[in-house]
Structure 1
Amino acid sequence: MAKNFLKSSIENASLNILLQIAFRCQTFILNAHVLRYVSQDEVGVTNVRLLLLESTVLFLSREAFRRACLTDTINHNWPKVVNLIWLAVSLCVAICGLFGYIWLNILEQPSSSVTIYYNFGVWAILISCVMELCCEQLYIIAQSFLFVKLQVVLEIINIMVRTIVYTTLVLSWSGQNSVLAFSLAQLASVFAYTISFYVYFWYYIKHQNKDFPFKSMWDFFPNISNKKWSECLDIPLVMLLWSFMKQGLMKQLLTDGERYVMTFFNTLKFDQQGVYDIVNNLGSLAARFLFKPVEAASYFYFSQLVHRDIPIKKQIEQDSNKVKEATSVLECLLRINSSVGLVALSFGQAYAKLALFLYGGSSLALGIGPILLKLHCLAILFLAVNGITECYAAATMNVTELNKYNIEMVMLSVIFLFISFLLSWFLGGVGFILANCFNFTFRIIQCGRYILFQYKDTNFKPLNGLLPKKSFIVCLILSTILTLYSEEKYYENNKIIHVLNGGIMFVLTISIWLFEEISTFKFLAKVYRSKHN
């Protein structure tokens, strides 16, 4: 099968961004309505306690498998790869048993006045995680063979089913039993997602292309045929998987560290957790809309063009154009992501209160929420840069470098958890956001050092993408000052004028940015056209 990795990665990222914008906007509107019916305590139970369980189980069960099995997919021995991926299901069951016991028997339980369906919610999360892992091999195959539109459609199905079921149940029950509604929506959406994957591939195999290596549905299931383990599994891939698994635990602690601290040490009550999560979700819209799909597509792209086990100098000697393209794309992505983060930081200061007012009503806009959201805009900038640098490092490090990076991540995880606990004890939710900024800063430094070392004796300088243009920075500073003045003068009495002022400055800022970065977009368009043709 002829493959075009850059073209596919751009299409994947573009379609996912459009999907995220379309359906997250729908979800945003529905959630804004639902929040007026659901208590902040129940939001804390579902969006912090239960979703933390889901993210923990899924990340530890599948993240390492995805990263390992999406490396150099052209040379895969697919029967061995499928056997390896199915080990993730067994791992998921074991992890579910461990964390299910912790969530049901060790952690503080919500009182009956908050919800009586907490136990059912835990079981719903555990069952849905195992169910989702049963189609993991199909996800990796779809990614490897560039089934871009399939993944977008299935994500649509997942989001639609979850949103429709949850919203319908909450509104039908007048805001009562929202934890039960959340649990049923979780099961329904994952079931629809998994079944859709199998139905599509059943249909595809029935009308398959001759180049597709899977000839029946049984090829998607493990086949050991009384062979030795060494003959059933790709051993180099197993070694790479082990490196990613060690890294994954630390990355999960760093990603959701504040949720673990507030869950295990009770530094915030459930209602405070609810407010923090609402602000976090609102502040992370850019991450979900843009950064996450770009990072997923970028990881796949870099893992195909840059070889892990060959020094970069030797790769330049073998094919300098390929390395030049990869470094130029990395520089462009850093420039775009950091610019988005700077825009969010600039305009977030004057419009945090208004965003919370529109999203959750006056009660959310009057408390500590606006302060949390303003600080979260700073975290978005760090998150934007960290996502690209970390995905490049993970896609190109060899096993030795990954193991060294894992040791550094262990140290950083311990420091981060300690700082999160300490700052949240004194500053509450503000402390968590400051700890996250500290966390992202050190992760950026780690990955930046790796990139600098990799290209230190070459003519490539991909980290130059972190340097914004002068006119863009001046416009951002001016926008921040003028929009803060607008908030002070017009927010209370004339919010429409405040919005119009911000809209004018936003259009001006983006116009200047597009003008200054026209060479960046021309390069990406040129590379895309050359690959497309």
Structure 2
Amino acid sequence: MIFFRHALVLVVGLTSTSGGVSEAFSIGIPNSEVIRLAFDAVVQSVMKFVLGNGEGFILLLSCDETSRGAFKLASNISFLAARFVFDRLQEQSFAAFSRLQNDVPAMERTFILATKTSSMIAMLFSFIGPAYARLFVKIMYGPQWEAAGVPGLLSLSFFYLQFISVNGIAEGYFNAVATSKAVRGYSMFTFIVMIFYMGFGTVFAVWDGPAAIILANALNMIFRAVYCARFIARFNSKKTKPSRTALVLLKEAIPTPGFFFTMVAL
């Protein structure tokens, strides 16, 4: 029902802002714009639901009860970092991109700065978190969860934050400037990625347990980030010279090798 609720809200909003139902509908049939936008809303809601609950489906199909519990515990711990650190940074970045739509060079500089900052914070979790994951789980949740493999899954989840951090900023830029046609293209792309994600996660989770689901999530984030980076590079190339490719843009947006080796040394 939630999918159709989004579409209904969109239709009502369009009809109310366009002068009433009589102007948005002709001979009792919604016009093409209303149908297209409502369909886009439904498709995006369905994909968000499946992506948000896909882990649960995979766990139910391929993992035992102990593995499911270990995965959920590790995910919930790492989710706190994503929720309180990266979500706020991504929201602020999206707001900045929306304000700077008429100044593409400033948007590009903001994207590079925000992505680099987010990635550096994620690296702190990725390199420092695993060193204390086992001790943290043992103290906070007891040896039974340590034996269930939570420390290893938590370490992978910290590593996964790196991909969340980059993808979140890239999607924020995309959502700030994308046209309805671009949004539909991205929706189709994420639908295809979602199918591969569900298949890859289910098959390899049987073989490698919940760790395979985290790796599948990481691949999902990589594909989505690269897609958004390509869109950003094409969008910027129409507004600025010289233009950058998606690879060059991402290379400039990630931390320097010096920072990486510093984290390794820690």
Per the normalisation by structure 2, the TM-score is 0.81
Is 1:339 paired with 2:120?
yes
Matches within 5 A, 1:379-398: 379-398=160-179
Relative distance call for 1:64 and 1:341 in structure 2 (3 A) is: farther
Identity %: 23
* Structure 1 alignment gaps of length 5 or more: 1-56, 69-80, 88-221, 307-318, 480-533
Please state whether the residue corresponding to 1:422 is helix, strand or coil: helix
Query: For the pair shown, which has the larger CA radius of gyration, 1 or 2?
Result: 1
Task: Name 1:504's counterpart in structure 2.
Answer: none
Relative distance call for 1:295 and 1:63 in structure 2 (3 A) is: farther
How much has 1:394 moved relative to structure 2?
Answer: 2.2
Q: Which moved more, 1:405-414 or 1:248-257?
A: 248-257
Task: Name 1:256's counterpart in structure 2.
Answer: 53
Please state whether the residue corresponding to 2:175 is helix, strand or coil: helix
C-alpha distance in structure 2 between counterparts of 1:301 and 1:61, whole Å: 31
Of 321, 326, 329, the residue aligned with 2:110 is 329
How much has 1:381 moved relative to structure 2?
Answer: 0.5
Task: Name 2:88's counterpart in structure 1.
Answer: 293
Task: Name 2:22's counterpart in structure 1.
Answer: 228
Relative distance call for 1:466 and 1:251 in structure 2 (3 A) is: farther
Is 1:466 paired with 2:253?
yes
Report if the CA contact (8 A) 1:251-1:409 is conserved: no
C-alpha distance in structure 2 between counterparts of 1:260 and 1:394, whole Å: 28
Higher normalized contact order (CA 8 Å, seq sep 6+, divided by chain length): 2
Per the normalisation by structure 1, the TM-score is 0.43
Matches within 5 A, 1:310-459: 319=102, 322-456=103-237, 458-459=240-241
C-alpha distance in structure 2 between counterparts of 1:473 and 1:271, whole Å: 35
Report the AA paired with residue 472 of structure 1: F
Relative distance call for 1:407 and 1:444 in structure 2 (3 A) is: same
Q: Deviations over 1:116-173 (max 9, x none)?
A: xxxxxxxxxxxxxxxxxxxxxxxxxxxxxxxxxxxxxxxxxxxxxxxxxxxxxxxxxx
Report if the CA contact (8 A) 2:97-2:173 is conserved: yes
Report if the CA contact (8 A) 2:67-2:148 is conserved: no
How much has 1:304 moved relative to structure 2?
Answer: 4.6
Is 1:282 paired with 2:77?
yes
How much has 1:273 moved relative to structure 2?
Answer: 1.9
Relative distance call for 1:445 and 1:252 in structure 2 (3 A) is: farther
* Structure 2 alignment gaps of length 5 or more: none
Task: Name 2:68's counterpart in structure 1.
Answer: 273
How much has 1:336 moved relative to structure 2?
Answer: 0.9
How much has 1:65 moved relative to structure 2?
Answer: 9.2
Report the AA paired with residue 51 of structure 2: L
Aligned residues: 256
Relative distance call for 1:448 and 1:255 in structure 2 (3 A) is: farther
Is 1:84 paired with 2:10?
no
Is 1:475 paired with 2:262?
yes
Report the AA paired with residue 46 of structure 2: L
C-alpha distance in structure 2 between counterparts of 1:64 and 1:444, whole Å: 27
C-alpha distance in structure 1 between counterparts of 2:209 and 2:84, whole Å: 28
